[in-house]
Amino acid sequence: MSATTSSLHLDAEALYGNLLAAVRRIVTPETTLVGVWSGGAWLAERLHADLGLSTPCGVISSALHRDDFGSRGMATGKDATNLPFEVDGRHILLIDDVVYTGRTTRAVINELFDFGRPASVTLAVLVDRGGRELPFEPALSAARITLPAQERVALVRADDGRFQFQFERV
């Protein structure tokens, strides 16, 4: 699907339902969810609750390993990595809201390996917008879209916990 921000409407809650169903099919008792700060962390937290998982859920930040640090600035405490488990030998299901170039995925995998060596890392996203610069593909995506490079889509969470998408021109 190719679109512009003026013509595209994505129902984030419906896509979340699709992602939940897909994750339910692949999650095992050994799976540990790790959400990419911030949208991926929100998704991982909700998936963790909806799936009733007993393993802890983690949050990972890309801030310390980004290759565009100069333009993004320093990391803040709110986007710090929190992995309340041993990473070594874990089967990690990495959750993100949107995958585009693959640069965030590369950065969070580098961050993850700073904490140990997982048995496996699988990427699941709400939206895959194509445009990969690095060879990372999600194993699961609830939607695949195409947007012009100057347009961005991000997940936002309302006060009641419901998800929606925000589109902007950059």
pLDDT of residue 76: 55
Q: Is the pLDDT of residue 4 over 50?
A: no
CB neighbour burial string for 132-160, b if at least 16 within 10 angstroms, e if fewer: eeeebebebbbbebebeeebbbebebeee
pLDDT of residue 68: 56
pLDDT of residue 75: 52
pLDDT of residue 5: 46
Least confident of 67-81, 131-145, 152-166: 67-81
Which residues form the domain of 126? 12-169
From the list 129, 155, 128, 159, the residue with the least C-alpha distance to 38 is 155
- Within-domain flag for 2: no
Residue 80 in any domain: the answer is yes
Contacts of 85 (CB under 8 A, 6+ apart): 32, 55, 56, 58
Per-residue model confidence (pLDDT) at position 65: 80
Q: Residue 147 falls within a domain, yes or no? A: yes
Domain assignment present for 66? yes
Mean pLDDT for the chain? 90
Q: Is residue 6 part of a domain?
A: no
Residue 72 has pLDDT above 50, yes or no: no
In a domain, 4, yes or no: no
**Greater model confidence, 148 or 1:** 148
Q: Say what the pLDDT of residue 1 is.
A: 46
Mean pLDDT, residues 159-166: 96
18 located within any domain: yes
pLDDT over 70 at 62, yes or no: yes
In the block, tokens 């909700």 appear at 46
Structure confidence by residue, pLDDT tens digits, 74-132 = 555 556 899 999 999 999 999 999 999 999 999 999 999 999 999 999 999 999 999 99
Give a yes or no: residue 5 inside a domain.
no
How many independent structural domains does the chain possess? 1
Whether the per-residue pLDDT at 2 is higher than 50: the answer is: no
Helix (H, G, I), strand (E, B) or coil at 45: helix
pLDDT of 106? 96
* CATH of residue 130: 3.40.50.2020
Q: Output the pLDDT for position 7.
A: 57
